[in-house]
Amino acid sequence: EVKLEAAGGNLIQPGGSLRLSCVGSGFTFSSYNMNWVRQAPGKGPEWVSYISGSGGTIYYADSVEGRFTIFRDNAINSLFLQMDSLRDEDTAVYFCARQRGGSSSSFDYWGQGTLVTVSS
C-alpha cells in the first residue's frame, strides 16, 4: 500500500524557519517525482515545489522562490521542504504528493498534510 506521511508543521513567528518532512512507503521512492502542495484555510490547493526522482530537477512557485528549498534523501525514502523567511501568507496545510508519471502528470497519492501557522 502506498503511503505518504508528512510531519513538521508548527506555529512559527514571521521571519522564522521550519523544515517539513514526508516519508514514503509501499513504492520505489526514488522512481517518482514528488511535490509539495499547500492549502490555506478555506482556499483551493496551491502547488509549491517539485523535485524529480533523482533530485536533479527542481521547480518552485513564484510565491516561495528564494525562501523555500525542496530536497530529498532517497536512501531513507524522504522528501523535505526547508522554509525560511516565513510570512503570514505561508499559513496553510502542507501536503506532499507523488506524481503519477513523468514531470507533466497528475498527483496520484497525497500525504495527510501538516499544518504550518505563521503568526506573532
Partner 1 sequence: AIRMTQSPSSFSASTGDRVTITCRASQDISSYLAWYQQKPGEAPNLLIYAASTLQSGVPSRFSGGGSGTDFTLTISCLQSEDFATYYCQQYYDYHPTFGPGTTVDIQ
The answer to whether 14 touches 120, Cβ cutoff 8 Å, is yes
d(CA 84, CA 76): 24
Cβ nearer to partner 1, comparing 17 with 105: 105
d(CA 31, CA 53): 5
Which helix (H) or strand (E) covers residue 80, if one does? strand 78-83
d(CA 65, CA 53): 20
Kindly state whether residue 24 participates in binding partner 1, applying the rule CB under 8 A. no
Kindly state whether residue 27 participates in binding partner 1, applying the rule CB under 8 A. no
Residue 105: CB atoms within 10 Å: 12
Site string for partner 1, 52-91 (x = CB under 8 A): -------x-xx-----------------------------
Among 8, 9, 53, 113, binds partner 1 (CB under 8 A): 113
Q: How far is the CB of 72 from partner 1 (least distance, A)?
A: 17
Kindly state whether residue 105 participates in binding partner 1, applying the rule CB under 8 A. yes
- Residues of the shown chain interacting with partner 1 in the complex, contacts defined by CB under 8 A: 35, 44-47, 50, 59, 61-62, 95, 97, 100, 103-108, 110-113
